Amino acid sequence: MSEQFFKPKSPAIQRIIGDLKSDDVRIQIIGYIREIISNSEFILKDNSGEIKVTFEKSDFPIKKDLLINVIGELEINVEGEKNVKAKFIQNMNMLNYEYYEKIYHLKKEYL
């Protein structure tokens, strides 16, 4: 059997868009859909920036201003532009986003 079969995937690192690092591989970002580009791409925004997200499917309608959680792989093109290839998209409309941001920044400061 292949060794890859036994290698666990690295966990997704919780980030805000402005904190993404070039060596991040799997990431988790919560933000709002600012713009729908196509049936497989949209722009996600949070208070620190924006990023293009590509996806294959979603279990709910993707629409502008929806608060979502995206888990996926960070891709950086030759121009240095960052994009996310989503593996999982979750509707987070019931989340208190302001409270989430405060906790994110507290964790970043103390951990």
Return the CATH number at 74. 2.40.50.140
Share of the chain above pLDDT 90, in %: 86
Evaluate whether 72 touches 86 at the Cβ level (below 8 Å).
yes
The domain in which residue 16 lies consists of 10-110
Check pLDDT > 50 for residue 1: no
Note whether residue 51 is domain-resident. yes
Note whether residue 90 is domain-resident. yes
Note whether residue 4 is domain-resident. no
| Alpha carbons 73 and 109: distance in angstroms, whole number | 25
pLDDT digits (tens, 9 = 90+) for 62-85: 999 999 999 999 999 999 899 999
Note whether residue 1 is domain-resident. no
Pairing between strand 49-54 and 67-76? unpaired
Note whether residue 27 is domain-resident. yes
Q: How many domains does the chain have?
A: 1
Note whether residue 2 is domain-resident. no
Please give the average per-residue pLDDT across 38-51, as a whole number. Answer: 97
pTM of the model: 0.88
Note whether residue 89 is domain-resident. yes
Report how far apart the first and last C-alpha atoms of the chain are (Å, whole number).
39
Of the pLDDT bands very low, low, confident and very high (cuts 50, 70, 90), residue 93 is very high
